[in-house]
Structure 1
Amino acid sequence: MISIVIPVFNRKEYTRDCLQSLRNQTNQQYKVIIVDDGSTDGTENMLREEFPEVEILKGSGSLFWTAGVNMGIRHALKQDAQLIMTMNNDVITDKHLLEKMYEWHEKKPAALLGALELDANTKQPIFGGERLNWLLNTIDEVLPTLSEDEQKGLHAVTHLPGRGLLIPRVVFEKIGLFDQDRFPHYIADYDYTHTARRAGFELYVNYDAKLLTYPEESGERQIRSEKNFKNYYKHLFDLKGGGNLRDFTRFTLKNCPKPYIPFHLANGYTRRLFGYFLR
């Protein structure tokens, strides 16, 4: 059985839609653990009234994504969970998501598996994984390289996002939990999957398992939606800023091969300092 860990803070309508989509899964071998980090919009009451099967853990209001996910994972591991999936509440699961995750897990039992992401509004594929080349300091997207007929099965990647990420228990036993001290919110998922890959685990995007997402709802997209000095500061220094310089520095020092660190940092700082105004 897959234990699905979902951290939430308010936005109960997204949580409701996500949980309802899970109820429609063709494979019902799952349980949901919600980590509610101090929601004030009635999320807890909604969960207890409409989704009594969901297990609720309470946070203090200061967990952010990584500590919230870790709380749920610890709880699932204590319950002897063998498969854990991290998921954001602002996604809709395709009804075959878990069925297709189980199918490929049987073939790759120690691999970490992500899902193909579709735009929830257009239903078109928008993200199918990335491959980071440390030497060239480039990130190549997998999806644009594939024909429509090739958009199926597993495709190897170098890292994976935490929304819809299937992680076997053996991974936690070998490398531990997400690094909430260094990466309290953004980039913790990329750091964790890079760490897993260095430890010998394979990473794939499962193109047969699909998630519908809302790209414009990300914190970084909202910061970029109106370009001004306040948002520029958030982009570089806020915990939810996609260009957070501290997180990028920590990520590079922890994961980048040592000979490439100076170039990777210089390139990355340049992109973050100036790229905000170009995109």
Structure 2
Amino acid sequence: MLYLVIPVFNRRAYTRACLLSLREQTCPEFRVIVVDDGSTDGTAQMLTDEFGEVEVVTGDGSLFWTAGVNAGIRRALVHGATRLLTLNNDVLVPPDFVEKMLLWANRRPEAVLGALELDAATGQPIYGGERVNWRTNTSQYLLEELPQTRRHGLHPVTYLPGRGLLIPLSVIESIGLFDEQRLPHYMADYDYTSGARQHGFPVYCNYDAVLSTYPEESGQQQTRRHRSLRGYYQHLFGIRGGGNLRNFTHFALKNCPPRYMPYYLLNGYARRLVGYFLH
């Protein structure tokens, strides 16, 4: 059985829209677990009143993304889940999303799968996976190289985001859960999928399954939109900071090949120190 795990903290309207889109799926062979990490905007009551089919795991506000996802996965495993799919609440999925993910999951049962990401406002593709060159700390973005005629099926990538990530049970049995101790919020998804690939599990972006997101509403974008010294500090050191230096260091030490480590770290630090002001 496929279990969808959705960590949430406030943003009730996004959660409602996401869950309503899941109700429209052509393939009903899944169950949903929402991890509500202490929302204060009425999310808990909405889930009770409007989504009785959804199982809710409650946190106290200290879980953040990684521990929230892990809590949902643990609950799903108790129920006998054979596949897990992590999904952010600020995501909309078309009716065939689960069907298209399971189609390829059945064909490649050991693979970790992501989805092609569209901008909810424009419908245009904005992320379709990447392949990292560890030596130069650069990425080859698939959307920039794939012509329209090849934007279908599976394409191998280095890692994947967690906002539409299908994980077979065999991966969890092999490498465990997400690293909530060292990567409590950002980069835990990239770290996990990169680690799965290093352990021999293929990692693909599934171009036949699409989801829509709101890129301007991400925490990183909002922090950069209102630049300040406090925001800069949060960017570099806060748990939700997209440029968190400690998180980047942990990710690099776990995933970058040792021979490329010195340059990868120095280049990554420089990008984070100045990137806040450039984007």
- Counterpart of 1:201 in structure 2: which amino acid? F
Confirm or deny that 1:144 pairs with 2:160.
no
| 1:32 partner SS | strand
- Counterpart of 2:241 in structure 1: which amino acid? G
Which residue is 2:199 aligned to? 199
Map of 1:178-193 to 2, 5 A cutoff? 178-193=178-193
Segments of 4+ in structure 1 off by > 2 A? none
Which residue is 1:85 aligned to? 85
Which residue is 2:121 aligned to? 121
Measured in 2, the distance between the counterparts of 1:21 and 1:41 equals 21
1:226 positional shift: 2.0
1:254 positional shift: 1.3
Measured in 2, the distance between the counterparts of 1:276 and 1:8 equals 26
Confirm or deny that 1:50 pairs with 2:64.
no
Which residue is 1:15 aligned to? 15
Measured in 1, the distance between the counterparts of 2:250 and 2:129 equals 22
Measured in 2, the distance between the counterparts of 1:131 and 1:164 equals 18
1:199-222 Cα offsets, whole Å, 9 max, x none, are 000000001101100001111000
- Counterpart of 1:115 in structure 2: which amino acid? A
1:227 positional shift: 2.1
Which residue is 2:106 aligned to? 106
Which residue is 1:218 aligned to? 218
Which residue is 1:267 aligned to? 267
Q: Which moved more, 1:133-142 or 1:243-252?
A: 133-142
Measured in 2, the distance between the counterparts of 1:233 and 1:267 equals 19
- Counterpart of 1:119 in structure 2: which amino acid? D
Confirm or deny that 1:171 pairs with 2:184.
no
Measured in 1, the distance between the counterparts of 2:69 and 2:28 equals 22
| 1:3 partner SS | strand
| 2:136 partner SS | coil
Q: Which moved more, 1:177-186 or 1:233-242?
A: 233-242
| 1:276 partner SS | helix
Measured in 2, the distance between the counterparts of 1:102 and 1:141 equals 25
Q: Which moved more, 1:254-263 or 1:154-163?
A: 254-263
Measured in 1, the distance between the counterparts of 2:278 and 2:63 equals 32
| 2:278 partner SS | coil
Which residue is 1:40 aligned to? 40
- Counterpart of 2:232 in structure 1: which amino acid? Y
RMSD over equivalenced CA pairs, Å:
0.8
Measured in 2, the distance between the counterparts of 1:164 and 1:2 equals 13
1:25-59 Cα offsets, whole Å, 9 max, x none, are 11111100011111111111111111100001111
Alignment gaps of 5+ in structure 2? none
Same amino acid, percent of matched pairs = 60
Which residue is 1:74 aligned to? 74
- Counterpart of 2:172 in structure 1: which amino acid? F
> What is the aligned length?
279
Which residue is 2:94 aligned to? 94
Measured in 2, the distance between the counterparts of 1:125 and 1:94 equals 14
1:52-81 Cα offsets, whole Å, 9 max, x none, are 000011112100000000000011111110
Measured in 2, the distance between the counterparts of 1:261 and 1:206 equals 30
Measured in 1, the distance between the counterparts of 2:156 and 2:255 equals 18
Measured in 1, the distance between the counterparts of 2:108 and 2:155 equals 12
1:245 positional shift: 0.4
Alignment gaps of 5+ in structure 1? none
State the TM-score, normalized to the length of structure 1. Answer: 0.98
1:19 positional shift: 0.3
| 1:265 partner SS | helix
State the TM-score, normalized to the length of structure 2. Answer: 0.98
- Counterpart of 2:254 in structure 1: which amino acid? K
1:228 positional shift: 2.1
